[in-house]
Amino acid sequence: MNIRALALCGALAGTIAGGSLIADAQTYPINQPAYPRASGQHLRGERGSAQSLARVRRRLERVIDSLQRDQRDYGGHRVSAINLLQQARGELDAALQYDSTHPNR
């Protein structure tokens, strides 16, 4: 295992934390878009978004597997990263389940 894998774990953990902020913003929308679009730029459709979630989940699964096979402990950080990544996987599963039961939302 190398530093890049640990950096990826840290980035994914940050994404998990940031995801709750995005969820709050979606729950309590404001009148302005979160990210202004440049002219000619189009937002992805619902189908593209769900495919993106599924793709990220597959990548996450490979990262978890790689970390579980690593022999070094990194002062307990590897195990902590695995736990956080498994939590992220659960959130992605919940998002995909929600998407399958709430079309066009």
pLDDT class of 103 with cuts at 50, 70, 90 = confident
Please state the domain extents for the chain: 3-27+46-101
pLDDT for position 84? 98
Q: Which two structure tokens, joined as six digits, stand for 20?
A: 């709750």
Q: What is the largest CA-CA distance in the chain?
A: 50
pLDDT class of 21 with cuts at 50, 70, 90 = very low
Q: Which two structure tokens, joined as six digits, stand for 58?
A: 């597959």
pLDDT tens, 63-74?
Answer: 999 999 999 999
Closest CA to 66 of 26, 8, 19: 8
The span from the CA of 95 to the CA of 48, in Å, is: 14
pLDDT for position 24? 43
37 vs 68: which has the higher pLDDT:
68
In the numeric block, the tokens 């970390």 are attached to 67
Which range of 30-39, 44-53, 83-92 scores highest in mean pLDDT? It is 83-92
The pTM score is: 0.56
The span from the CA of 44 to the CA of 47, in Å, is: 8
The span from the CA of 44 to the CA of 63, in Å, is: 26
Q: Which two structure tokens, joined as six digits, stand for 36?
A: 């202004």
